[in-house]
């Protein structure tokens, strides 16, 4: 009986997550109805809360897949409650990705939940656990862009349309970055089980610096330009015009004096 109760508690959705969802819903309503006194603030709250929700679902996907793969410890760690405060590195998983969005409008991936890989059997399961997170971003991007590729924008207010476009940009950029085969990112986690033991040992020391290396490369104008060219091409394929995403980014960054801190997309 105690075990069943414990398992139920381990998987109960956290009030923290529900609070974030509530902020997303209320701010989304404010954007849709133009109720807020500040259009930019409403878009900021809506996109930021939706971005945090997607980060929680990203980490949940890792944990849930690991649970079915054999790691039964993820429940006791609180990973199945969707509570961002339960992550191994809440700073990396939530705070830094939000800061990167505020600074430059880029969905830089975070990390992570701690998976006891020794409990997982089979290389395919290890790869699937790593892929589950960025696939969540892909799904989120498809949902955000659905009104565009379904041509169902009639009656959708402009600000809400722009907010969805910018949120889609964040999801697409997060998915692309996460799928990079860079140590420390999910893309490397997908291929790592298929590498030789010697290769994994050689790469292991660089894992803590992979995310920082990607962030540094994005500051190089030429790299930044090519990266966003790819992101806008994907968005265009999903029916989202680049000007809509740019308009959403402009509304999101409603503060007047922080432009010099931005990682401005070079196109």
Is 59 known to be catalytic? yes
Cβ-Cβ contacts under 8 Å for 30 (sequence gap 6 or more): 36, 42, 45, 46
Decide if 214 contacts 138 (C-beta within 8 A). Answer: no
**Separation of alpha carbons 68 and 31, rounded Å:** 39
DSSP 188-251: HHHHGGGS-HHHHHHHGGGGGGHHHHHHHHTTSHHHHHHHHHHHHHHHHHTT--HHHHHHHHHH
DSSP 37-68: S-HHHHHHHHHHHHHHHHHHHHHHHHHHHHHH
Distance separating the N- and C-terminal Cα atoms of the chain: 59
Among 162, 165, 185, which residue's Cα sits nearest to residue 175?
Answer: 185
Q: Which residue has the tokens 């009639």?
A: 154
Catalytic residue among 59, 192, 204, 226: 59
116-119: which pairs have CB atoms within 8 A and are 24 or more residues apart? 116/71, 116/73, 117/71, 119/69, 119/70, 119/71, 119/72, 119/73
Return the active site residues.
59
């Amino acid at each position: 009986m105690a075990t069943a109760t414990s398992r139920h508690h381990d998987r109960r959705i956290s009030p923290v997550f529900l609070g974030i969802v509530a902020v997303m819903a209320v701010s989304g309503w404010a954007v849709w109805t133009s109720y807020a006194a500040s259009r930019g603030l409403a878009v900021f709250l809506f996109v930021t809360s939706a971005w945090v929700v997607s980060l929680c679902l990203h980490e949940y996907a890792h944990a849930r897949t690991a649970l079915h793969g054999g790691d039964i410890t993820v429940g006791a760690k609180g990973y199945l409650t969707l509570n961002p405060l339960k992550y191994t590195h809440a700073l990396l998983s939530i705070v830094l990705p939000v800061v990167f969005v505020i600074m430059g409008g880029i969905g830089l991936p975070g990390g992570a939940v701690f998976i006891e890989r020794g409990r997982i059997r089979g290389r395919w399961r290890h790869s699937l656990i790593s892929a589950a997170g960025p696939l969540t971003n892909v799904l989120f991007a498809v949902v955000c862009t659905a009104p565009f590729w379904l041509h169902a924008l009639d009656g959708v207010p402009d600000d809400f349309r722009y907010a969805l476009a910018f949120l889609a940009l964040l999801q697409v950029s997060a998915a692309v970055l996460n799928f990079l085969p860079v140590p420390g990112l999910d893309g490397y986690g997908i291929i790592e089980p298929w590498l030789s033991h010697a290769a994994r040992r050689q790469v292991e020391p660089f894992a803590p610096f992979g995310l920082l290396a990607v962030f540094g490369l994005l500051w190089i104008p030429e790299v930044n330009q090519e990266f966003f060219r790819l992101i806008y091409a994907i968005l265009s394929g999903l029916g989202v015009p680049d000007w809509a995403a740019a308009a959403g980014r402009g509304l999101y960054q409603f503060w007047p004096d922080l432009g010099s801190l931005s990682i401005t997309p070079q196109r």
